[in-house]
């Protein structure tokens, strides 16, 4: 017996602490990615296929998720219905280009509602109109292909987007470097480490301005010695002739 697939919309989302979210919004993807650490940072970073529609885009906000059947975008309208100002829509149909998930009409509504941005694991269309709106969108594909609205679909459930698990309320950060997903349980850690990293980089820039060499500022001389790497005061062709 084949069981029917039942669509579902969860109207409520557990959002992160607003103060912590405001601290996170001060940083870009690179700082927060580093703040998550080597393992979590890689697991939470979407691939380079997730591209910004326009240069200079930035966003930071809690995830409102939507799973859509391939060729269908019913789920994105359910997500839009539940989203609040500051939220980020995270949409997927598994990453296929069939049936555009996002377009300029939905984008106009999202902008009117005060959303921070949209992440599309699938196709976006009406790209020129979206750029004119100035609303931040990241997408893995561009295609005008017509979507159906029949489902099945789900809103505000865990989804896998471009290989990364996204749970409703996770913090989504995007800029020209890409898109990062920060689980709520790791948000404090990521932000605190990003703040330390940012302060260190201010000092690095000061020392560069004072004329110091980056190789020494970063302690590379000691690292090279520890790794047993030889620095030879000659060209490689001179070395071959010895």
Read off the pLDDT of residues 43-53 as tens digits, 9 standing for 90 and up. 999 999 999 99
Q: Does 47 lie in the same domain as 29?
A: yes
Q: Does 107 lie in the same domain as 173?
A: yes
The residue segments making up the domain with residue 230 are: 195-240
Residue 2 resides in a domain = no
The predicted model gives 3-7 an average pLDDT of: 66
Q: Does 108 lie in the same domain as 15?
A: yes
Residue 190 resides in a domain = no
Better-scored residue on pLDDT, 240 or 170: 170
What are the tens digits of pLDDT across the range 119-175?
999 999 999 999 999 999 999 999 998 988 888 999 999 999 999 999 999 999 999
The residue among 58, 34, 52 whose CA lies nearest residue 44 is 34
Q: Does 181 lie in the same domain as 199?
A: no
Residue 146: count other Cβ atoms within 10 Å of its Cβ.
11
The residue among 119, 135, 145 whose CA lies nearest residue 66 is 119
Q: Does 203 lie in the same domain as 115?
A: no
Instruction: Write out the two tokens for 116.
Output: 């921070």
Residue 55: which CATH number?
3.50.30.40
Look at residue 195 in the predicted model and tell me its pLDDT: 92
The predicted model gives 78-86 an average pLDDT of: 95
Domain total of the chain: 2
Q: Does 215 lie in the same domain as 150?
A: no
Name the band, by pLDDT with cuts 50, 70 and 90, for residue 3.
very low
Q: Does 156 lie in the same domain as 211?
A: no
Range in 116-130, 169-183, 224-238 the model is least confident about: 224-238
The residue among 90, 96, 134 whose CA lies nearest residue 112 is 134
């Amino acid at each position: 017996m084949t069981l029917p697939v039942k669509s579902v919309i969860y109207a409520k989302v557990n959002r992160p602490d607003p103060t912590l979210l405001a601290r996170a919004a001060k940083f870009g993807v690179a700082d927060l990615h580093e703040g998550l650490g080597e393992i979590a940072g890689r697991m939470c970073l979407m691939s380079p296929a997730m591209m910004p529609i326009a240069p200079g885009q930035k966003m930071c906000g809690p995830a409102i998720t939507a799973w859509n059947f391939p060729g269908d975008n019913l789920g994105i309208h359910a997500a839009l219905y539940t989203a609040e100002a500051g939220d980020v829509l995270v949409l997927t149909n598994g990453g296929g280009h069939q049936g555009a998930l996002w377009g300029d009409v939905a984008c106009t509504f999202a902008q009117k509602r005060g959303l921070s941005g949209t992440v599309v694991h699938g196709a976006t269309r009406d790209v020129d109109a979206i750029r004119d709106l100035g609303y931040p969108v990241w997408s893995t594909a561009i295609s005008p292909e017509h979507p159906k609205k029949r489902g099945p679909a789900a809103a505000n459930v865990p989804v896998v987007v471009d290989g990364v698990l996204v749970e409703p309320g996770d913090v989504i950060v995007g800029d020209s470097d890409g898109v990062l997903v920060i689980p709520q349980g790791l948000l404090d850690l990521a932000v605190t480490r990003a703040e330390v990293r940012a302060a260190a980089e201010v000092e690095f820039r000061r020392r560069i301005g004072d004329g110091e060499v980056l190789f020494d500022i970063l302690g590379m001389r000691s690292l090279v010695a520890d790794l047993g790497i030889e620095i030879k005061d000659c060209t490689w062709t001179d070395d071959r002739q010895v």
